[in-house]
Each structure stands twice: as C-alpha cells, then as structure tokens.
Amino acid sequence: MEELRAVVARNLTACRKAAGLTQMQLAEKLNYSDKAVSKWERGESLPDVAVLCELAKLYGVTLDYLVVQHADKKPALYGREKRRTRILVTAMSCLLVWFVATLVFAMLHIFQAKGEGQWLLFIWAIPVTFILCVVFSGIWGNRYHRTLSVSALIWSIALALFLTLPLPNSWLFFVVAAPLQILTVFWFLLRVQKSKFK
C-alpha cells in the first residue's frame, strides 16, 4: 500500500506540473483544499476513485496511468498545449459572435434597412460574448474565471438594456444589477468555504 501511495504521489505531482497548475489551482478545480492535494502528492493519503477519475480526465491520461510506475517519470500529456488550445477555442468562439454582429450590421447597411439603432447589434454582442465566457469558464476555468465571467455578463446585460430601452428610469437596470453582483460574489465565496471543509 505504501508503494502504491508513493507511485500515485509521483504521478500526480508530475501530471500537475506538466499541466502547468499549482496545488492551489488544482484544488480549486476539484473543490478540495490545497492541503488535501499536498497530502496526495506527499503520499500521506490517496484520493478516492472518483477523484482519481476526475484527475485522469483533467490531465488527459488514463486512470491506469496514475496508479502505475513509469520509467521515464514524464506524463504523456501536453498541459501547456492543452491550455493554449482552450484559450484559442474560447477566443475564436467570442470572435465568431463579433463576426456575426458585424455581418448583420453590414447586411442591414447594404440593403439600406431603415433604423437608427443598428449599432445596438454591437452592444448586444457584448453579453453574448460573456455568455460564451461563462460556459467555457464553467468547463475549463476556475472559480475566479467564473466569477469574473458572470459579473461581466450581469453588467453587460444591464448596459444593453439601458441603451436599448429609451425609458425615463432605465438607469434602474444598474441598480438591479448591483444586488445580483453581490449575490454572485457571495455564491462563489460560499463555494470556497465549502471546498476548505472537504
């Protein structure tokens, strides 16, 4: 059992470093404390099977890879390339939103559609972009990315509504956004507290 712990500890450490993650960043992704991650990597305890499966998926290796000793001691994954790919996919998806907004704007001008609010297409592209950011940060990001993405989404929707609806009290959209922002921060702080007790 001691030997298995040592092997798993070495493999977990090597995989985490190859993925370019700190113990704290990994702990956030798993909703565990960095102390738990540190214990796994020192061989003081073993993560349960569900966590090992999650780690294998995160690192792009098999579960078997994490529990078997390797001669080369180097994980067969490319952490930095994976991160670059994720950033590229997110950026391209966001750029696609702006391409569609620009295309619709251009088509409206080409066909001389009447209306003065065509520039609002670009304003509404902002919250759509942040919706994509929320989705991708939920899949790949940590809690800080998610908090920033949700916050940006809240305020961009308030801005879009403020500029789109010519109402006398449309500034109240920002007042409504403020408690939503506070709720978002408290929600993510609550999740941080929960992960510390694991």
| C-alpha span between 139 and 29 (Å, rounded) | 10
Give the CATH fold of the 2-67 domain: 434 Repressor (Amino-terminal Domain) (1.10.260)
| C-alpha span between 133 and 186 (Å, rounded) | 20
| C-alpha span between 178 and 79 (Å, rounded) | 38
0.75 surpassed by pTM: no
Q: CATH 1.10.260.40 in the chain, residues?
A: 2-67
Residue located via tokens 């370019």: 20
Residues in the chain, overall count: 198
Would you give per-residue pLDDT tens digits along the chain (198 residues)?
568 888 888 888 888 888 778 888 888 888 888 898 899 889 888 888 888 888 888 887 888 888 888 765 555 445 567 778 888 999 999 999 999 999 999 998 888 777 778 899 999 999 999 999 999 998 887 788 889 999 999 999 999 999 999 889 999 999 999 999 999 998 888 876 665 555
